[in-house]
Homo-oligomer: A and B are copies of this chain.
Amino acid sequence: MHKYEEKTLKVEEIFNGKILHLQVLDVELSDGKTSKREVIKHPGAVAVLAVTKENKVVMVEQYRKAAERALIEIPAGKLEPGEDPLEAAMRELEEETGYACGKLEPITAFYTSPGFADEWIRLYMATGLEKLEEPKAGDDDEFVDILEFSLDEVKGMLRSGKLCDAKTIIALQHWILLGENK
């Protein structure tokens, strides 16, 4: 047990939606006092740094209602219940970009916003990409454009702030660091 662990005294279920599950917890702090924590339960997600044989990264541009703007991101998606993360990563890559990959390796995994959510993203690197003639379709309420960028283009887009999604920045910094260490 961690010395600052917060013991749950009471769980109040606020909302159980299609994606998000919100609870308000009464907790006992390490000094014996009590406090409240607002917590989002999320199914977890996978994201893919997919690099083509021409050494370009495959990204998607889509409208994000929470942000009220379109964002350029690496392919990603929520885990289906019981789904193997590696299979989910291959599925999302195919559905969003139409690529299958010859090789898929874990890079790292992280909490996106541990102050209030348990969302855990597993990040993979996909290489040996092959464009599929008849890729599986994705969610019918998702519209995405597929874009490909070189390492130099990515460096410029990171510097300018055009890329502003956390998982995407993590993946692309990793790609740049791989290049620097060659």
Query: Shortest Cβ distance from A133 into chain B, in angstroms?
Result: 24
Residue of B nearest to A77 (CB): B115
Of the 9-residue stretches A48-56, A63-71, A79-87, A93-101, which lies at the interface with chain B?
A: A63-71
Residues of B close to A167: CB separation below 8 A:
166
Residue of B nearest to A33 (CB): B141
Interface residues of A in 80-127 (CB under 8 A from B): 108-119, 121
Count of chain copies: 2
Interface residues on A, range: 35 or more
Roughly how many angstroms separate A114 CA and B119 CA in the complex, as a whole number? 12
Q: Are B66 and A39 in contact (CB under 8 A)?
A: yes
Q: Are B40 and A65 in contact (CB under 8 A)?
A: no
Q: Are B63 and A4 in contact (CB under 8 A)?
A: yes
Residue of B nearest to A7 (CB): B65
Q: Are B18 and A15 in contact (CB under 8 A)?
A: no
Residue of B nearest to A139 (CB): B35
Q: Are A70 and B116 in contact (CB under 8 A)?
A: no
